[in-house]
Amino acid sequence: MRYSELFAPTLREIPAEAEVVSHRLMLRAGMIRKTTSGVYSYLPLAQRSLRKISEIVREEMNRAGGQEVGLPIVQPAELWQETGRWAVYGDEMFRLKDRHLREFCLGPTHEEIITDLVRGEVQSYRQLPLLLYQIQNKYRDERRPRFGLMRCREFIMKDLYSFDRDEAGLDVSYQKMYDAYCRVFSRCGLQYRVVEADPGAIGGTGSHEFMVLAGSGEAEIAFCDNCGYASNVEKTETRPELWQEGLSPGEKELVATPGVKTVEEVSRRLNLSPKDIIKTLFYETDQGPVAVVIRGDREVNEVKLKNKLDCLWLEMMGDDRIRELTGAPAGSVGPIGLKGIKILAESEVPLLVQAVAGANQEGYHYRGVNPGRDFPLDVVADLRLIEEGEDCPKCGSPLGLTRGIEVGHIFKLGTKYSSALKARVLDEKGQEQLMIMGCYGIGVSRTLAAAIEQNYDEDGIKLPLPIAPMHVIVVPVSWQDEAQRSAAETIYQELNARGIEVLLDDRQDRAGVKFKDADLIGFPFRVTIGPKTLKEGKAEVKDRRTGEVQIKKIVEIADYISDIIKEGLRANEN
Ligand code: ATP
Ligand code: MG
């Protein structure tokens, strides 16, 4: 292809709206344009990379025994009502009505659709296992769409669902997917980490996330260099720290703390550590309001809280409601004397002997508070976020924290959907058994963004060869120069003939402009034809990722580059 025909409007200035590198660079390289919040158009260069990622995913799903299907995006409410998710999916679901006022949604995921399909067609255990997948747009009305392709409202996902006759079968399917995911992300040339993920209210051990390591990632990962353990902090187990050891209970006493609101302020005023203070947080949940008490220096882990309560949703209570419940503003609230509200205590709270807590009177706290004696501990559980340097739950060594972008998520569903939708098979004895399911997602468009977060420099994008939009750009320093033009045309034709994806920069622009665009878009190889080397029948070959420059005979260049590229791509496929 010729540059003059390419639809890739590059930008020199840095777009103000873009918060992360991948978003900025994809806009600047003319790869994407925003249509509306969280909805993007993919221009040809992005589309090429997305297709390459999809193709790697497809090959690996097929290799693992998956079969590709195409499922509807428009999904009837009835199926979602059957599993109960129509009511609980909430605002993230795009809902619509047809002309008969029947309700539908745009598929945010496909458990309902696929289980419905399979229950109608599969009757015998002999038809299992079954691994079905698709690569398709998904729709989620995210609360905060952001970071370009990272968190969109319309995005591309590969979703695979496994159906097995028993748990042992699920374990096999799950392992196949685990291995296939490792191959996918290795083949994309990414550095990633597999972490244990929160399996949600269903429980069990079966959930892993595939994280591309990047500082801009929204997910936080706890990892142990000693034993290799890694998990999403949402799920990392904590060990309670001993504090106030050996202290004896004392009298509870009311102290005036006018104008003091935060844990910091309370601890400074009373000359105590934040660890001596009990923080009380209020949540609305679908099971009614709850209060969570936690040591002043810790943060609540809402995922653990949700699992402990086994609730479908929860959110922090608003100030007015807190005042209504406690009679005090948020800065003076505490667990003592609360009526008709369940109190969940984080595991470290019962270890406190003489703590400070809000008195539910504006401007007052209690000191000498003894948990259990002065307020009930309805539930005691690990409800907090792990901190850097705390003990690894497996081996006790200090944990590190790092950030990652979740590009894949695999999940043992068990019978959650097969029981709701009555998807059963007959076993050898003619008995009905629920099918055992797993689901496995890869964010294809998010993977492209994550790949750029990991592969860029100050000049632009440097995607790995297997997912770069094109392989080579041929740049004559001056298009007007007859000799340069004809040498460039020759190399271009020869590369094309060898099946290499090559762009000929036939623009009249200055060389500097052309080099900048080449670096910005990130062609793995740039062939530059300039007057000096051309006199000797040579041209320059530059490797975008290493920056290495080689001067090669023009007659040899096509073979030289196509050998490297083919070798690189072949190695990738094995
Ligand atoms: P997140 O926690 O980031 O919202 P999720 O747990 O909701 O992700 P899944 O339902 O497991 O995601 O979806 C499978 C994959 O789809 C994710 O691993 C991610 O790569 C991708 N994905 C999910 N939501 C989005 C989104 N809003 N934009 C782009 N990709 C997404
Ligand atoms: Mg999500």
Q: What are the residue ranges spanned by the domains of the chain?
A: 13-188+420-453, 253-381, 470-573
Residue with tokens 């076993």: 427
Query: Is residue 202 scored above 80 in pLDDT?
Result: no
Gap between the Cα atoms of 130 and 127, Å rounded: 7
User: Quick one: which atom of ligand 1 is closest to the CA of 153?
Assistant: 27
Pairing of strands 219-223, 230-232: antiparallel
Per-residue pLDDT tens over the stretch 350-389: 999 999 999 999 999 999 999 999 999 999 999 999 999 9
- Quickly state the pLDDT bin for 203 (edges 50, 70, 90): low
Q: Atom 19 (ligand 1): residue with closest C-alpha?
A: 443
Structure tokens at 443: 């964010």
pLDDT surpasses 90 at 293: yes
How many other C-beta atoms are found inside a 10 Å radius of the C-beta of residue 486?
11
Task: Give me the mean pLDDT over the 494-514 stretch.
Answer: 97
Other C-beta atoms lying within 10 Å of the C-beta of residue 127: 14
Above 70 in pLDDT, residue 173?
A: yes
Fold designation for 253-381: YbaK protein (3.90.960)
Going from the Cα of 443 to the center of ligand 1, the distance in angstroms, rounded, reads 6
104-118 per-position pLDDT tens digit: 999 999 999 999 999
* Residue 148 φ/ψ region, left for φ over 0, alpha for ψ in the -120 to 50 degree band, beta for the rest: left
Q: Write down the pLDDT at residue 201.
A: 57
pLDDT at 204 over 70: no
Quote the pLDDT of residue 572.
80
3-state secondary structure of 453: helix
Ligand 1 mutation target, pool 39, 446, 447, 448, most atoms within 8 A of CB: 446
Mutational test site, ligand 1, from 110, 158, 159, 406, max ligand atoms within 8 Å of CB:
406
* Residue 443 pLDDT exceeds 80: yes
- Kindly give the distance from the C-alpha atom of residue 141 to the centroid of ligand 2, in angstroms, as a whole number: 10
Ligand 1 pocket, CB under 6 A: 109, 140, 142, 151-152, 155, 157, 406-409, 441, 443, 445-446
Residue recorded with tokens 């590709």: 68
Tokens standing for 334? 């505490």
* Per-residue model confidence (pLDDT) at position 500: 97
Q: What is the pLDDT of residue 252?
A: 95
Fold of 13-188+420-453: BirA Bifunctional Protein; domain 2 (3.30.930)
Please give the angle made by the CA atoms of 37, 39 and 42, to the nearest 5 degrees.
Answer: 135
Who contacts 485 (Cβ-Cβ below 8 Å, separation ≥6)? Answer: 476, 479
CA of 406 to the centre of ligand 1 (A): 7
**Which atom of ligand 1 lies nearest, measured to the CA of 152?**
28
422 CA distance to ligand 2 middle (Å): 27
**Among the bound ligands, the one closest to the CA of 153:** 1
Q: 145 pLDDT exceeds 90?
A: yes
Mean per-residue pLDDT over the chain, rounded: 95
Q: Tell me the pLDDT tens digit for each residue of 520-556.
A: 999 999 999 999 999 999 999 999 999 999 999 999 9
Pairing of strands 207-213, 400-414: antiparallel
Q: How far is the CA of 80 from the centre of ligand 2 (A)?
A: 18
Nearest CA to ligand 1 atom 23: 443
CATH number for region 470-573: 3.40.50.800
Tell me how far apart the alpha carbons of residues 123 and 282 are, in angstroms, rounded to a whole number: 48
> Does the structure show a pLDDT above 80 at 205?
no
Continuous segment of H or E residues that includes residue 59: helix 44-63
pLDDT for the residue 341? 93
Predicted pLDDT at 88: 86
